[in-house]
Chains A and B, each alone.
Chain A
Amino acid sequence: MSLIKNINKIFDNRVRLGIMSALMVNESIDFNTLKELLDVTDGNLASHIKALEKSEYITIKKQFIGKKTNTKYNATKLGKLAFKKHIEALEKLIHQQKKN
C-alpha cells in the first residue's frame, strides 16, 4: 500500500493533529488558546509541541508582555506542506475504502 506511506506518523495523534490544524488557519497562536481549543493539560500540550518543534513543523516565539512571558507558535513551510500531504493521504484512503 503506497498510500499508507503518505500518512504522517507525527500526525497520528489527536493533539498534534489539532495543533497543526489550528496553525494552518492562524498566523500564530499562543499556548493558552491552544489549550482551550484542544482541551488538554499543560504537560500534555507541551510535550506534543516539543515533538512538532523537533521535526521542524512549528517554530516557537517567546515574547515578554510586561513581566509575563507570552509564547506563540507558528507553522513552518515544511510543517504546512507535510500537513497538506497528510490530509490528501487521508482523503485518498477514505475514498479508496468507500470503493471497496
Chain B
Amino acid sequence: MKEKDYLKDLNEIKRIMHQSTRFVSLSGITGVLVGIYALIGAFLARQSIINHFNNQSNDIDSLILTLLVIALSVALISVITAYILTKRKAKSNNQSLWNATVKRLLFHFMVPLLAGGILSLELLQMGFYGLVAPITLIFYGIALVNASNFTFSNIKYLGLAEIVLGLIAINYIGYGLYFWAIGFGIFHIIYGTFMYFNERKS
C-alpha cells in the first residue's frame, strides 16, 4: 500500500463518519425562499393590523385569528417548500429522505419547536399577545441549535442569532411583528444566501 492509499482510507473514514451522523441535503435556496415567505407574511399581517385599527374594530379575536392563519400558512408553505427542495437534493446526493439521520435531525428540531408552539398558543389564549413573537423566536433558535449536531454545524449561528433577537424583542413588546420579520425573514435570507455560495464553492 502506498501513501495515497492510506490517505484515501482516512478520507473515507471521515466521509462515512460525517455522512452517517449528519443530514446534509438541505439547500440554501430553501432558506432564502422561507425568508421571503416570512416577509410577505409579515407584510400581510401589518396590513390586517392597520385595517383593524382604521375600522376601529373592537373584535380583537378576529384579528388574532387572521394573524394566526397568516402565520400558519407561512409555516405550512415553508415546510412544503423545504420538503420538495430537500427531497430533490437528497436524490442527487443519493441519500434517501427517510433515513436515521433525518429522523434524528427532525426529532431534535421538533421537540423545542413544538414546546415553543404550544406555549405560544397558551399565551395567546391568556391574552399575552406581546410575548408570542419573542417566545417563538427564542424557541425556534433553540430548535436550530439543537438540530445543528445533526446537519450543517454552522446552522447553530442562525439559531444563536434568533435567540438573541428574541431576548431583545422582549424589551420591545408591541413591535413583535418587526422582530418576526427580521428573525424569520431577513435572517433566513442572509443565512440561505451564505449557504448557497458555500454549496457552489464545494
Please indicate whether A and B come from the same complex rather than being unrelated chains.
Answer: yes
Shortest CB distance B128–A (Å): 41
Question: A36-B95, A37-B19, A94-B3 known; A17 and B100 CB under 8 Å?
Answer: no
CB of B16 closer than 8 Å to a CB of A: yes
CB of B53 closer than 8 Å to a CB of A: no
Indicate the member of A29, A37, A98 with the most B CB atoms within 10 Å. A37
Shortest CB distance B37–A (Å): 32
Q: Encode contact with A along B81-103: 1 for CB under 8 Å, 0 otherwise.
A: 00000000000001110011000
- What residues of B have a CB within 8 angstroms of the CB of A91 in the complex? 10
> Residues of B at under 8 Å CB distance from A?
1, 3, 6-7, 9-10, 12-13, 16-17, 19-21, 94-96, 99-100
Stretch of A19-27, A40-48, A60-68 contacting B (4+ beta carbons < 8 Å): A19-27
- What residues of B have a CB within 8 angstroms of the CB of A30 in the complex? 100
**Interface bracket on A:** 20 to 34
> Residues of A at under 8 Å CB distance from B?
7, 12, 14, 17-18, 21-22, 24-26, 29-30, 33, 36-39, 87, 90-91, 93-94, 97-98
- 11 A–B contacts, CB within 8 A, in A order: A17-B13, A18-B12, A18-B16, A21-B13, A26-B20, A29-B20, A30-B100, A33-B20, A87-B13, A91-B10, A97-B6
- What residues of B have a CB within 8 angstroms of the CB of A22 in the complex? 16-17, 20
B20: nearest chain-A partner, CB-CB: A22
The dominant DSSP class at the B interface is: helix
* Contact B16 A29, beta carbon cutoff 8 Å: no
Shortest CB distance A92–B (Å): 10
- What residues of A have a CB within 8 angstroms of the CB of B96 in the complex? 36
* Contact B20 A90, beta carbon cutoff 8 Å: no
Q: Provide the bound-state CA to CA distance between A21 and B10, in Å.
A: 10
Shortest CB distance B88–A (Å): 18
- What residues of B have a CB within 8 angstroms of the CB of A24 in the complex? 17
* Contact B9 A90, beta carbon cutoff 8 Å: yes
Question: A33-B100, A90-B6 known; A39 and B94 CB under 8 Å?
Answer: yes
* Contact A29 B100, beta carbon cutoff 8 Å: yes
- What residues of B have a CB within 8 angstroms of the CB of A26 in the complex? 20-21, 100
* Contact A90 B10, beta carbon cutoff 8 Å: yes
* Contact B16 A37, beta carbon cutoff 8 Å: yes
* Contact B10 A94, beta carbon cutoff 8 Å: yes
- What residues of B have a CB within 8 angstroms of the CB of A25 in the complex? 17, 20-21
- What residues of A have a CB within 8 angstroms of the CB of B17 in the complex? 21-22, 24-25
Contact of B9 among A17, A36, A39 (CB under 8 A): A17
Given contact pairs A24-B17, A38-B16, a sample of 8 additional A-B residue pairs in the complex whose CB atoms are under 8 Å apart: A14-B12, A21-B12, A21-B13, A26-B20, A33-B20, A37-B20, A94-B6, A97-B6
